Structure 1
Amino acid sequence: MNDANTRQLLVYLAAAHMAAGAGAHEAEEDVVRAARAIGLPGVQMQANPNGVTLGLGHGEPATFESVEGSLRLDQTARVAAIQHGLEMGSLTPADALATLRGLRRQRARFPVVGMYLGGFVVAAGIAGILQPTWPSVLFAALASPVTVALIRLTGRRLVPAALLPLFAGFIVAAAAFAAFDAGLVASPLRTMLPPVAVLLPGALIVTGLSELVAGAMVSGAARLAHGTAQLVMFAAGVAGASLLTHAPSSAFVNTRVDELGPLAGFIGLGAVTIGICLMESVPRRLAPWVLAVTTLTYATQWSIQNWLAYPAWAGACAGAFIAAFSAWVMALARPTLPRMVLFLPSFWLLVPGSLGLVSVTQLAIDPHESWKTATNASGAIVGIALGLVFGTSAARGLRVTIRRTRRRRPHRPA
């Protein structure tokens, strides 16, 4: 391959990593490692959420590639396979470039049914975790098609992407306030969250914070600002719905009602995992591994917060550590397992985007009720970010130790 095609290969790979949800520092490390494997040790690059710039060395021409939307988990698995193939030498650069060029054309396994059915199951599962009452679970299941329909309309450019949080928050919140006024649900704020949970920017905010901790200042600051703006748009939609329905101040109290018991959370966990696999077209061979990581993560977080009675931020930190570390260890033990595919569902389960929306909404409408929720959300976000950093660092240290041990091991003559 000539230099132009090589730059294109590496910049496509970096953009794919960013679109798959990796942090800027992680994408840069992966691409530099792949470049060294194909004989280019001097590659320089800078990754940001909106684009990637890469050159093959000091003073060499640079190539820019924009990051156009996120990838599904089946496409993320393909990116991980390309990365592994380049590092191991089992995939030629020309074949890797051809695969990356066709990555966006890879069709979902269940393009329509999977989105609606998966959204239905995810919303009901999150309701079982966040507000375990039958009315809340039923409301989440019935309201989930609204969110999925808006996502599909945004994909067809019939609804502006910038207004998606506003529209979704307004429609679902208006229905939740009406149900509260009729005496059907106990806490509208927590009831309205599961149907829109797939749109909440909690993962965006936590990823930005972890990037800042890792030194990726530009990318981290950009993600934090964008995530905060999305929360404000959601809160504006909820506030508009409250004015339309004349919701009383009692509707904005953040009250968790548990009528189904602790088993509801674990059942909801299984439902969320199944729904994510449907919406994201996760390959069947990876589904049990995804369920294993999500179960370990949730069990750790639940045990620390309930059995040991530690605060929420401690459970979030421990859960994030287990999610990052277990995904890395499984990928180290079986290199064909894509780490990000194993990790991201647990990450989405952990992030307190719902609490962030509650606190911002309360701040806009009833500031007296917002302080405690905002404090809990901030503590959980910082805890998750620290857990990710510690878990990733521990796993990378383990990887370095294993590689050094293998290098020092004497070779036996045949």
Structure 2
Amino acid sequence: MTASPDALTDAQTRQLLVYLAAAHMAGGAGAHEATEDVVRAARAIGLPGAQINATPDGVTLSLGHGAPATFESIEGSLRLDQTARVAGIQHGLETGALTPTAALDALKGLRAQRARFPVTGMYLGGFTVAAGIAGILQPAWPSVLFAAVASPITIALIRLTGRRLVPSALLPLFAGFLVAAAAFAAFQAGFITSPLRTMLPPVAVLLPGALLVTGLSELVAGAMVSGASRLAYGTTQLVMFAAGVAGASILLDVPPEAFANARVDEIGPLAGFVGLFLLTLGICFMESVPRRLAPGVLFVTASTYVTQWSVQNWVDAPAWGGALAGAFVASFSAWVIALARPTMSRMVLFLPSFWLLVPGSLGLVTVTQLGIDPRESWPTAMNATSVVLAIALGLVFGTSAARALRFTLRRGLRRRADARAASTLVE
């Protein structure tokens, strides 16, 4: 049973579908994925000719060739709880459980959906996320402590940006400068030994890792405009971060050896798994992840980390090998869970894994070293490039494998249904 579009006018139907497409894009989906989802929803309500052009800035949609078009701008990203609601609306439209009128009303109220912990969740989540990423990226007690103590700087800047007291365009610059200045001061005081990696966890929530990888995956999928714009914007953000770090280094007269990309492991392998739990817990606090989705998020992040860690430590593969395997598992497992339980959002399950794969951190290290000491930047640049490409390919391979599985299962179900119908006719 499918819902009828008759309850809405053509203009309202365009509004429904363009809102849905914009919500998918704001939730982190690639342009090709958002287009596929909305076309599927349009067909479910009896509109097979819908056409969509999605970019990170806005979506244009018409109901058919030569039909009027509607444009909707995209203003900021969605939290994961809001993204989960979008997945529920998508599923409701596809199955007919939600009428187009109800879906439109739900999308109109999406931005008004309040966070479960508006202030405490941000600071507590930022604290645990920073400590967790430090346990994975730089497992040394001074670095973990620094990450936890410095995390409120980033969260305070985010909140000031939301109140328009800090320009959003300058947020990476200010965050990079303040956290880097604190890290360099701690280095000069002898508290930490590797400031470049130590400063990354407190600003990790702002690094454009997902932006860069999504852009590459869009280019691979043929969404050229969206992919190129994401890559350009993500690279610009990295440059802004690096400018802040460079400014702090000049102000404090930091020696070049402070920019060595050195990993200090004082805690041991257990730090990574504890950091994984803290990271997932922090994401749930910051993004108001619904309780029913939290076990799924933990399963996907744990699978991603275990796969990446196993490939790099047991198989002794290079960093890009672990990133490729981790991205494949993250994408494939999120799709399979969403296939088994359609009301669970694959984006909510998948996006937190980007914080484990840390492409944004590697990019910031590369850009910073390039500005401070170009001789040391080339190996890091090659490593960062290979890792980002590997993550993008892993994402594409995992998604393709999951879609093939979905197609096979649906074809098997259709054949079984046809066989039952045929046997009923015979009887």
TM-score range, shorter chain: over 0.9
- Alpha-carbon distance in 2 for matches of 1:90, 1:349: 36
Match for 1:148 among 152, 155, 167?
A: 155
Paired residues, number: 414
State yes or no: 1:360 paired with 2:367: yes
Residue 243 (structure 1) aligns with: 250
Residue 157 (structure 1) aligns with: 164
- Alpha-carbon distance in 1 for matches of 2:152, 2:393: 35
The one-letter code sitting in structure 1 at the alignment partner of 2:420 is H
Aligned partners of 1:351 and 1:384 also within 8 Å:
no
**After superposition, what is the alpha-carbon deviation per residue over 1:165-198, rounded to whole angstroms, capped at 9, x for unaligned?**
0000000000100000011001000010000000
Match for 1:384 among 375, 391, 395?
A: 391
Residue 270 (structure 1) aligns with: 277
State yes or no: 1:411 paired with 2:420: yes
- Alpha-carbon distance in 1 for matches of 2:170, 2:35: 31
Aligned partners of 2:204 and 2:355 also within 8 Å:
no
TM-score, length basis structure 1:
0.99
Residue 106 (structure 1) aligns with: 113
- Alpha-carbon distance in 2 for matches of 1:104, 1:114: 18
Aligned partners of 2:238 and 2:364 also within 8 Å:
yes
Give, in angstroms, the shift of residue 407 of structure 1: 0.7
Structure 1 residues 329-338 or 389-398, which shifts more?
A: 329-338
Report matched runs for 1:169-318 at 5 Å. 169-318=176-325
The one-letter code sitting in structure 1 at the alignment partner of 2:226 is S
Q: Secondary structure at the match of 1:411?
A: helix
- Alpha-carbon distance in 2 for matches of 1:336, 1:167: 39
Aligned partners of 2:209 and 2:354 also within 8 Å:
no
Aligned partners of 1:18 and 1:49 also within 8 Å:
yes
Match for 2:403 among 365, 373, 396?
A: 396
Residue 334 (structure 1) aligns with: 341
- Alpha-carbon distance in 1 for matches of 2:382, 2:212: 15
Aligned partners of 2:194 and 2:262 also within 8 Å:
yes
Give, in angstroms, the shift of residue 112 of structure 1: 0.1
Residue 16 (structure 2) aligns with: 9
The one-letter code sitting in structure 2 at the alignment partner of 1:323 is A
- Alpha-carbon distance in 1 for matches of 2:347, 2:257: 41
- Alpha-carbon distance in 1 for matches of 2:293, 2:239: 36
- Alpha-carbon distance in 1 for matches of 2:359, 2:109: 35
Give, in angstroms, the shift of residue 403 of structure 1: 0.8
Gaps of 5+ in 2: 1-7
- Alpha-carbon distance in 2 for matches of 1:218, 1:335: 30
State yes or no: 1:116 paired with 2:123: yes
- Alpha-carbon distance in 2 for matches of 1:393, 1:288: 24
Match for 1:137 among 140, 144, 148?
A: 144
The one-letter code sitting in structure 2 at the alignment partner of 1:324 is S
- Alpha-carbon distance in 1 for matches of 2:104, 2:343: 19
Aligned partners of 1:15 and 1:66 also within 8 Å:
yes
Aligned partners of 1:208 and 1:223 also within 8 Å:
yes
Tell me how large the CA RMSD over aligned residues is: 0.8
Q: Secondary structure at the match of 1:283?
A: coil
TM-score, length basis structure 2:
0.96
- Alpha-carbon distance in 1 for matches of 2:358, 2:84: 22
The one-letter code sitting in structure 2 at the alignment partner of 1:267 is V
**After superposition, what is the alpha-carbon deviation per residue over 1:142-162, rounded to whole angstroms, capped at 9, x for unaligned?**
000000000000011110000
- Alpha-carbon distance in 1 for matches of 2:313, 2:80: 32
The one-letter code sitting in structure 2 at the alignment partner of 1:234 is F
Identity of aligned residues (%): 78
Aligned partners of 2:219 and 2:227 also within 8 Å:
yes
Q: Secondary structure at the match of 1:285?
A: coil
Structure 1 residues 351-360 or 133-142, which shifts more?
A: 351-360
Give, in angstroms, the shift of residue 411 of structure 1: 2.2
Q: Secondary structure at the match of 1:46?
A: strand
The one-letter code sitting in structure 1 at the alignment partner of 2:11 is A
Aligned partners of 1:300 and 1:315 also within 8 Å:
yes
The one-letter code sitting in structure 2 at the alignment partner of 1:160 is P
- Alpha-carbon distance in 2 for matches of 1:155, 1:2: 35
State yes or no: 1:64 paired with 2:74: no
Aligned partners of 1:206 and 1:351 also within 8 Å:
no
- Alpha-carbon distance in 2 for matches of 1:277, 1:349: 15
Give, in angstroms, the shift of residue 276 of structure 1: 0.1
Give, in angstroms, the shift of residue 338 of structure 1: 1.2
- Alpha-carbon distance in 2 for matches of 1:155, 1:89: 37
Give, in angstroms, the shift of residue 352 of structure 1: 1.4
The one-letter code sitting in structure 2 at the alignment partner of 1:347 is F
- Alpha-carbon distance in 2 for matches of 1:89, 1:221: 36
State yes or no: 1:96 paired with 2:107: no
**After superposition, what is the alpha-carbon deviation per residue over 1:11-47, rounded to whole angstroms, capped at 9, x for unaligned?**
0000000000000000000000000000000000100
- Alpha-carbon distance in 1 for matches of 2:355, 2:59: 24
- Alpha-carbon distance in 1 for matches of 2:281, 2:351: 14
The one-letter code sitting in structure 1 at the alignment partner of 2:306 is A
Match for 1:348 among 344, 355, 376?
A: 355
Give, in angstroms, the shift of residue 346 of structure 1: 1.1
Aligned partners of 2:82 and 2:110 also within 8 Å:
yes
- Alpha-carbon distance in 2 for matches of 1:379, 1:230: 20
Q: Secondary structure at the match of 2:307?
A: helix
- Alpha-carbon distance in 1 for matches of 2:72, 2:262: 46
Give, in angstroms, the shift of residue 348 of structure 1: 2.8
The one-letter code sitting in structure 2 at the alignment partner of 1:194 is P
**After superposition, what is the alpha-carbon deviation per residue over 1:323-369, rounded to whole angstroms, capped at 9, x for unaligned?**
00000111111112111111111123214111110110000011111
Give, in angstroms, the shift of residue 124 of structure 1: 0.3
Match for 1:375 among 382, 401, 415?
A: 382
Q: Secondary structure at the match of 1:15?
A: helix
**After superposition, what is the alpha-carbon deviation per residue over 1:34-87, rounded to whole angstroms, capped at 9, x for unaligned?**
000000000001000000000000000000000010000000000000000000
Q: Secondary structure at the match of 1:45?
A: strand
Gaps of 5+ in 1: none
